[in-house]
């Protein structure tokens, strides 16, 4: 009876072996199991281990004990003996029992799941975010956007702050977190935005989220319904498009030029759109900065059509010439802008902390949706980040990181110029943590071959085509450089040059 599989503690293996035999009908229902003493002698396993396995079978209802008589296989559960109509018309209870047992012992071959409309949309949407996972080994030189160099971050200081918060004896730290986020963190972020961006917002208008992607998801579910239209940049961030599509929205792509989203070139039906998604400080992935005239036009469109604008400030701290660009939200007198920020690229991606500055009329609903989604963001990291901001350590880190990233950018531009020359056009170099590399004369299909060849050589580069709603005429690459040391950048570009050849 004891066919052990070698997985788990010995008593658990014994339990699984006995359970499999019972489900297979040996012994049959009502049949007597061997005594623990006899089974221990036959198997060479201690009686204590056998007893522990029997206790598990008794607790889960597979067996019953009869005082002075022994342990027996339990009769079929009540629902197994239910009238045949409970299963199939014309099937006896014994036949139904046999079918059920067969399913438990040998489940049928898997079939395609019956999904909701949302589930089917999840299958249809293939967001670029999947590249962040670890489905395949990372190449030695990975120019992936979103990766950051872990050695840049003051990890020792962060560990001390986490430990200090963990030692706090305030019982409130162990309670359910506020759905909108820790009050102290919201106050510190509001103060930081006022200092660094000139954005004045009340802490009660901030909602802490698990990264900017959750902010996009919550905003989409709150503002969009099935069939509603959403304006998106083209090319643009696929994670935003995917969030809107999952909400059932129709995507209306708006062309992007050297000044960002051009509302004058919006497709028909733009006046009925419920929201627009933009990255005005550093358009992703082309790097354009939206000028004042277009910002005012976008705000006027939102106010006139009772729509909202999602402003994604995904890497606003990293502008290498002059001060960070003031957010669109600064001009938002009509309260039509949701401003999304994240700490993933400033600190480290695994932190999963971001925030949304929400118009006052939406705060209550936004926070309630956040509560229903996950119950609130973990408090320990929020409190540690609040202290990190309050001490000035965060802004010191930003200044140091900005200088390091500027140096990495300079190394990348020099390597591209030296190794690739006029075969490529480099776009979006004044800010952010990535550049757009236009490959002159290359089709998107040919770029796909290049990406695979570069990966085989140990270089991770990423095609630009997924950022477009329709295949572009000319192929390109998006190269992130924040996760690589200068020497690694130079070595990676040399290997990319060889792959291009």
d(CA 318, CA 408): 12
pLDDT at 84: 43
CATH 1.10.10.10 residue window(s) in the chain: 10-105
pLDDT at 129 over 70: no
d(CA 49, CA 13): 10
pLDDT at 138: 86
pLDDT at 100: 56
The CB density around residue 256, as the number of other CB atoms within 10 Å, is 25
Where residue 80 falls among pLDDT bands split at 50, 70, 90? Answer: very low
pLDDT at 86: 45
Q: What percent of the chain has pLDDT over 70?
A: 89
Note the pLDDT tens digit of each residue in 303-338.
Answer: 999 999 999 998 888 887 766 678 999 999 999 999
pLDDT at 250: 95
The mean pLDDT value of the chain amounts to: 88
CATH 3.40.640.10 residue window(s) in the chain: 169-392
pLDDT at 155 over 60: yes
pLDDT at 114: 81
Thinking of the domain 169-392, which architecture would CATH place it in?
Answer: 3-Layer(aba) Sandwich (3.40)
pLDDT at 419 over 70: yes
d(CA 375, CA 367): 10
Cβ atoms of 397 and 347 within 8 Å: the answer is yes
Q: Is 303 exposed, middle or buried (0-12, 13-18, 19+ CB in 10 A)?
A: middle
Cβ atoms of 75 and 58 within 8 Å: the answer is no
Which of 114, 120, 65, 75 lies closest to 97 in space, CA to CA?
75
pLDDT at 137: 83
Cβ atoms of 32 and 72 within 8 Å: the answer is yes
Could you tell me the CA-to-CA distances from 167 to 13, 186, 233, 351, 390 in Å, in that order? 40, 22, 46, 20, 19
Note the pLDDT tens digit of each residue in 16-51.
Answer: 989 888 887 778 878 889 999 999 999 899 999 999
The predicted model gives 161-180 an average pLDDT of 83
Regarding the domain delimited by 126-146+396-500, which CATH topology (the fold level of the hierarchy) does it fall under? 3.90.1150
Note the pLDDT tens digit of each residue in 361-413.
Answer: 999 999 999 999 999 898 999 999 999 999 999 999 999 999 999 999 999 99
Q: End-to-end alpha-carbon separation of the chain, Å? A: 64
d(CA 115, CA 132): 25
CATH 3.90.1150.10 residue window(s) in the chain: 126-146+396-500
Which of 466, 484, 491, 477 lies closest to 427 in space, CA to CA?
477
pTM over the 0.95 mark: no
Q: Which CATH code for domain 10-105?
A: 1.10.10.10
Where residue 135 falls among pLDDT bands split at 50, 70, 90? Answer: low
């Amino acid at each position: 009876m004891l066919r052990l599989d070698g997985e788990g503690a010995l008593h658990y293996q014994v339990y699984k072996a006995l359970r499999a035999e019972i489900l297979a009908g040996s012994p049959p229902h009502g049949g007597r199991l061997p005594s623990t003493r006899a089974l221990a002698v036959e198997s060479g396993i201690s009686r204590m281990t056998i007893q522990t396995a029997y206790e598990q079978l008794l607790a889960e209802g597979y067996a019953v004990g009869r005082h002075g008589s022994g342990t027996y296989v339990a009769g079929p559960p009540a629902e197994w003996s239910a009238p045949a109509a409970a299963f199939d018309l014309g099937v006896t209870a014994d036949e139904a029992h046999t079918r059920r047992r067969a399913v438990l012992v040998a489940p049928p071959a898997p079939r395609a799941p019956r999904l909701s409309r949302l589930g089917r949309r999840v299958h249809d949407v293939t967001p670029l975010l999947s590249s962040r996972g670890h489905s395949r080994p990372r190449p030695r030189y990975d120019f992936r956007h979103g990766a950051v160099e872990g050695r840049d971050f003051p990890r020792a200081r962060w560990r001390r702050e986490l430990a200090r918060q963990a030692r706090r004896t305030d019982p409130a730290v162990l309670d359910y977190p506020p759905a909108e986020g820790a009050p102290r963190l919201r106050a510190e972020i509001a103060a930081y935005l006022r200092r660094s961006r000139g954005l004045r917002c009340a802490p009660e208008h901030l909602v802490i989220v698990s990264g900017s992607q959750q902010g996009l998801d919550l905003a989409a579910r709150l503002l969009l319904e099935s069939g509603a239209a959403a304006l998106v940049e083209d090319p643009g961030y696929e994670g935003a498009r995917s969030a809107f599509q999952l909400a059932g929205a129709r995507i209306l792509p708006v062309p992007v030029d050297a000044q960002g989203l051009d509302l004058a070139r919006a497709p028909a039906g733009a006046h009925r759109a419920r929201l627009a998604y933009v990255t005005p400080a550093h358009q992703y992935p082309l790097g354009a900065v939206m000028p004042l005239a277009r910002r005012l036009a976008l705000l006027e469109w939102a106010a006139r059509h009772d729509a909202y604008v999602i402003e994604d400030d995904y890497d606003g701290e990293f502008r290498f010439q002059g001060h960070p660009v003031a957010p669109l939200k600064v001009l938002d007198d009509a309260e039509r802008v949701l401003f999304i920020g994240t700490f993933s690229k400033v600190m480290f991606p695994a932190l999963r902390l971001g925030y949304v500055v929400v118009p006052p009329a939406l705060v209550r609903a936004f926070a309630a949706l956040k509560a229903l989604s996950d119950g609130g963001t973990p408090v320990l990291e929020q409190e540690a980040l609040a202290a990190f901001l309050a001490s000035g350590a965060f802004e010191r880190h930003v200044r140091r990181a900005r200088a390091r990233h500027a140096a990495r950018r300079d190394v990348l531009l020099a390597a591209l110029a030296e190794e690739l020359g006029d075969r490529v056009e480099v776009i979006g170099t004044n800010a952010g943590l990535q550049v757009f590399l236009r490959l002159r004369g290359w089709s998107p299909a040919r770029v796909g071959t290049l990406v695979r060849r570069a990966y085989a050589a140990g270089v991770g580069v990423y095609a630009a085509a997924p950022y477009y709603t329709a295949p572009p005429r000319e192929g390109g690459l998006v190269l992130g450089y924040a996760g690589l040391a200068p020497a690694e950048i130079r070595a990676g570009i040399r290997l990319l040059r060889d792959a291009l050849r």
